[in-house]
Structure 1
Amino acid sequence: GLTTLGSSTTPFSIALYISPNVLSGTIVHISMYKNGTAGWCLPFIGFATTTHLAIQIWGGTIAKYVLGPILPINSWTHIVQTWSSINGLSLYINGELYAHDSTSTSYGASGVANYLTLASTLQAIPYP
């Protein structure tokens, strides 16, 4: 499993090239169990109900999220989610900082090694 994402003190980055054919669903889902649905689990990167790209982390009591742009269909885009207790939650699009939440400095991690599921139907980001 991914041990870094299970630690609430270790900064992380998740970087991907995506070319969505629909603007819905989950791109990166993190969970403590292989099935992705029990225990600690959360979509980290996906599409909000508004079809905007969105990233989030578990802040300990609520999910903290940042909204991105509406991405072009069938076109490659480089996306990066970063988090640290110093800088908070950031979203980069094609190498440029797109959105940032400096108040998202707490990450309520699972405390165990995690599973990362790509292009999942498990759980969408319910914001805004």
Structure 2
Amino acid sequence: MGNTSSMLTQYDIEEVQQHCKDAFTQQEIVSLYQRFCQLDRNNCGFIPSDEFLSIPEFAVNPLSQSLLRMLDGLNFKEFVAFLSAFSPRATLHHKIEFIFKVYDTDCNGKVSFHDVLRALRDLTGPFMSEKQREKL
């Protein structure tokens, strides 16, 4: 898959659509590809995490650091698979798996006490002390 929407073939679209389990229509995939190309400023075929921070809505998200761990270095197919959890056509199971991955910050397959504390730090910032977080 190239860096312009004209280089996205019908085969590519169908492959991506199948990979994301039909969470997006073919037209939506083309639109996502155009956005991907805008974010891929270096034309290297993947988006480094700092490019995501250039999106204002992403940069202010309190969970952006956890999301960046999942996003760094995604190619287009992986980018669409990541975004598929936000699609209204995604299954509940897919959405739950995605949320679990956001909170499993050490990627050990468990959401530990440490993972929950990290999420609380991200969500509460300076408005809650470490002791209050631990008690919570």
Normalized against structure 1, the TM-score is what? Answer: 0.26
Where is the helix percentage greater, Structure 1 or Structure 2?
2
Where is the strand percentage greater, Structure 1 or Structure 2?
1
Structure number with larger C-alpha Rg: 2
- The higher-RCO structure (CA 8 Å, 6+ apart) is 1
Normalized against structure 2, the TM-score is what? Answer: 0.25
